[in-house]
Amino acid sequence: MSEAPAGPVSGGDALLIRGGRLLDGSVVDVAIADGRYLAVGTDIAAATTELPDGASVVEIDAAGGLLTPSFVNGHLHLDKVYTLQAAGDAALQAYTSGGMGGALDSIALASAVKADYRVDTAQPLIRRSLLDAVRYGCLHLQAFVDLDAAAGMRGFQAVQPVRDELAGVLNVQIVAFPQDGLVRDAGARELCEAALEQGADVVGGIPWIEYTDADARAHVEWACELAARTGRRVAVLTDDAGDPSLRTTGMLAEAMIRHDLVGRGVACHARAVGSYPGPTLQRLIGLARRAGLGFVTDPHTGPLHLPVREFLDAGLPVALGQDDIEDAYYPFGRNNMLEVAFLAAHLVGFLSDADQLRLIDMITGAAAQVLGLGDHVIREGAPANLLVHGHDRVVDLLRYHDAPRVVISRGRIVARDGAIVQAVAPR
């Protein structure tokens, strides 16, 4: 990993980006001060006179390169990054082969290695993956950490300090995730609730792995009741196997409505939904719309995936997620969301110009909406989380999935040309 210094962090006063191209093709200048966009447009001279006297202004010539909001990773198993070697290939084989018929076996196989999980060895790997996110322009992540009998609190204990260490640079929402079930794993409830008390942000769940529909319903009920009671969001891993009879995505939507969590929940994976009969799919889409349920899909980590085009056409928000980085379920990954979008382009058949723009939206604006992040646009007054790219066409962003020329987090330059600036990652 290269963390060579790449010039100073901007003084924190102001940035002036000249000649950047927005996704609509217009070429604009952008002024940033105090972590927010001060002005965006073709004539921003007046706005820049508002900069405080004596403020140091760092100028960046975008040279016609694209400007996008920073990237968002909707779903990542952050506690498990780079653990594939310890886990071995058996879980990976079980998860991906036979039409995902062995998905339950894969979770049991992956769980077996958790006895050897160590906080001190995991933390450098977690830090590595988060610094990779920054170098590739991803500044928001929804990170799942396992809380179960095998792992105890160790996944959370590994992730939380690294999240806090880098909190000035990127925003990591920690999801308290009962990976081995809640009814199946009697201790998971207490562990999740403890993690939430100690700083986890989002209530997680994985109801589809329970042994009965009644247990799955109790699992979803627990997650939504807890989220409603503690003012949190829910992020639930639903229907993640080659079994079209799974129905936990709909259970989640129903429970969100019942617990007044409309617009505050996310379903991740939901792969079985892709093989639902038409009328069943239509009912789910209607219910999800009513619940304000957002979706995260990661078609590169399993042979099945959410029916993305149908969901987007129905107006449902869908984000992309990296899902795994070299763990028991997937051998690759580097928190490069353009790479994830490039893979998704092939797997969900998004090749036209319009569909390429949809892919960018699924890692920027729509992804922020799915995670409830608010104003994630290049607009006066919004937080300045901005990427200056070296390419001027969307097709080249996706083709090369290069690191951005400049990554700006809350108005501060944090990476240039794939290298983290020294003040972010001191050596």
Strand order in the sheet with 57-61: 36-41, 27-33, 14-21, 57-61
> Which spans in 16-97 are helix H?
45-48, 84-87, 90-96
CA distances from 332 to 129, 147, 282, 339, 393 (A): 12, 24, 34, 11, 26
Q: Which is nearer to Zn ion, 237 or 288 (CB)?
A: 237
CB of 405 to Zn ion, least distance (A): 31
DSSP line for 237-261 = EE--SS-TT--HHHHHHHHHHHTT-
Inter-CA distances, 314 with 86, 259, 310, 350, Å: 42, 24, 6, 16
- Indicate the residue among 29 and 323 with the shorter CB distance to Zn ion: 323
Strands 406-409 and 386-388, by their bridges, are antiparallel
Q: Which is nearer to Zn ion, 70 or 322 (CB)?
A: 322
> From CA 100, how far away is CA 98, in angstroms rounded?
5
DSSP strands (E only) in 77-231: 138-146, 171-177, 202-205
Q: Which residue, 301 or 385, is less far from Zn ion as judged by CB? A: 301
Nearest residue to the partner Zn ion, using Cβ: 323
Question: Which of the stretches 241-249, 271-279, 320-328, 384-392 binds Zn ion when contact is defined by CB under 5 A?
Answer: 320-328
**Contact window for Zn ion (CB under 5 A) among 91-99, 322-330, 337-345, 416-424:** 322-330
**Closest CB 66 distance from Zn ion, rounded Å:** 29
Residue (of 142, 194, 187, 110) closest to 372 by Cα position:
142
In angstroms, give the least distance from the CB of 306 to Zn ion: 12
CB 363 within 8 A of CB 71: yes
Closest separation in Å from C-beta 100 to Zn ion: 13
Closest-CA residue to 219 (of 271, 179, 276) = 179
Which residue lies nearer to Zn ion by CB, 30 or 92? 92
Smallest separation, CB 12 to Zn ion (Å) = 36
- Residue 79 CB, shortest distance to Zn ion, in Å, is 12
The CA dihedral of 29, 33, 39, 42, to the nearest 10 degrees, is -20
125 touches 81 (CB < 8 A): yes
Is 185 a residue that touches Zn ion (CB under 5 A)? Answer: no
Per-residue mark of binding to Zn ion, 277-316 (x: CB under 5 A)? ----------------------------------------
Query: For residues 77 and 412, which CB has a smaller minimum distance to Zn ion in the complex?
Result: 77
- Binding residue count for Zn ion, defined by CB under 5 A: 1
Minimum distance of Zn ion from residue 76's CB (angstroms): 8
Interaction of residue 323 with Zn ion, rule CB under 5 A: yes
Query: Which CB sits closer to Zn ion, 148 or 402?
Result: 148
Stretch that binds Zn ion, among 190-198, 317-325, 397-405, 417-425 (CB under 5 A): 317-325
Binding site for Zn ion (CB under 5 A): 323
